[in-house]
């Protein structure tokens, strides 16, 4: 590569266990998501000069509905992250659980929006003891992570986070409305790749997503499906990305987006206005 990235000032924690062969399908989704993001960036959906250093450019062209779905995902998560950072004036920390090849750290640095601390982890239980006593305003992020845990495991994680941090926000992106035929097809496709969604029963609806957070210690919760979020995107940006390539099956995009959602929950931080954050 033409330039080298400097060693980042953030902490990354990885599991080195050799007994995780059952997780191969889950880890494979990280590669799939990274390749999709890399392709979307390469044709102009959003600007990310760092992903090229971590992810190869696939020769396979991704479908327009996939590219637009990732655009909405990246835009929505980024908007919530920046809103939290501005509310806290960056006097906070971020925990990105199951971060994979995510480049948020460097993109925030470019915009002078780095928090006091930034952690990336793949298996969150490894670092729980280290984080237990941290009381700064804390943002936790999971993108397609909780769905691979059993409902009991994800509930324990959410409960731990709510009890460990006095002032916090939790952002979760994952599947929703999985009880219909389209959802069943998604589950079957992943199962063929030996990738079971252990927590899919919590992904029945926006209400079930919100209830999981509320029942595990979080005080306020909001949730939208990605089609709703897509409709809220700045019109100029939507017009720009829709002009990049032709999509002849808008119905497929709508079906796909209606089966993913963005949820965010807060605890404490009333003086910071955390409850006012929206996307």
Residues 36 and 71: beta-carbon distance below 8 Å: no
In terms of residues, how long is the chain?
279
What whole-number distance in Å separates Cα of residue 67 and Cα of residue 51? 15
What whole-number distance in Å separates Cα of residue 184 and Cα of residue 190? 10
Q: What is the 3-state secondary structure (H, E, C) of 35-64?
A: HHHHHHHHCCCCCCCCHHHCCCCCCCCCCH
Binding residues for S-adenosyl-L-methionine: 73, 98, 143
Q: Are strands 260-267 and 220-225 parallel, antiparallel or unpaired?
A: antiparallel
Binding residues: 73, 98, 143
Tell me the three state secondary structure of residue 128.
helix
């Amino acid at each position: 590569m033409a330039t080298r990235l400097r060693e980042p000032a953030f902490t990354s924690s990885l599991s080195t266990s050799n007994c995780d062969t059952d997780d191969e399908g889950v880890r494979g989704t990280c590669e799939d998501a990274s390749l999709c993001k890399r392709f979307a960036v390469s044709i102009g959906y959003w600007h990310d000069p760092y992903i090229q250093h971590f992810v190869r450019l696939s020769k396979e062209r991704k479908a327009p509905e996939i590219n637009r779905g990732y655009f909405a995902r990246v835009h929505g998560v980024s908007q919530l992250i920046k809103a939290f950072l501005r509310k806290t004036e960056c006097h906070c920390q971020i925990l990105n659980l199951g971060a994979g090849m995510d480049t948020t750290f460097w993109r925030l640095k470019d915009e002078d929006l780095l928090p006091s601390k930034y952690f990336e982890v793949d298996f969150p239980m490894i670092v729980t003891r280290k984080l237990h006593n941290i009381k700064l305003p804390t943002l936790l992020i999971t993108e397609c992570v909780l769905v691979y845990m059993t409902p009991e495991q994800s509930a324990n994680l959410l409960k731990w986070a709510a009890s460990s941090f006095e002032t916090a926000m939790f952002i979760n992106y994952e599947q929703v409305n999985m009880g219909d035929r389209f959802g069943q097809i998604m589950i079957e496709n992943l199962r063929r790749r030996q990738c079971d969604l252990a927590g899919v029963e919590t992904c029945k609806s926006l209400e079930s997503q919100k209830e999981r957070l509320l029942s595990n210690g979080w005080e306020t919760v909001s949730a939208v499906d990605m089609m709703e979020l897509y409709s809220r995107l700045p019109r100029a940006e939507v017009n720009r990305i829709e002009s990049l390539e032709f999509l002849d099956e808008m119905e497929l995009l709508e079906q796909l987006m209606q089966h993913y959602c963005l949820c965010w929950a807060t605890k404490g931080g009333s003086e910071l206005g955390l409850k006012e954050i929206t996307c």
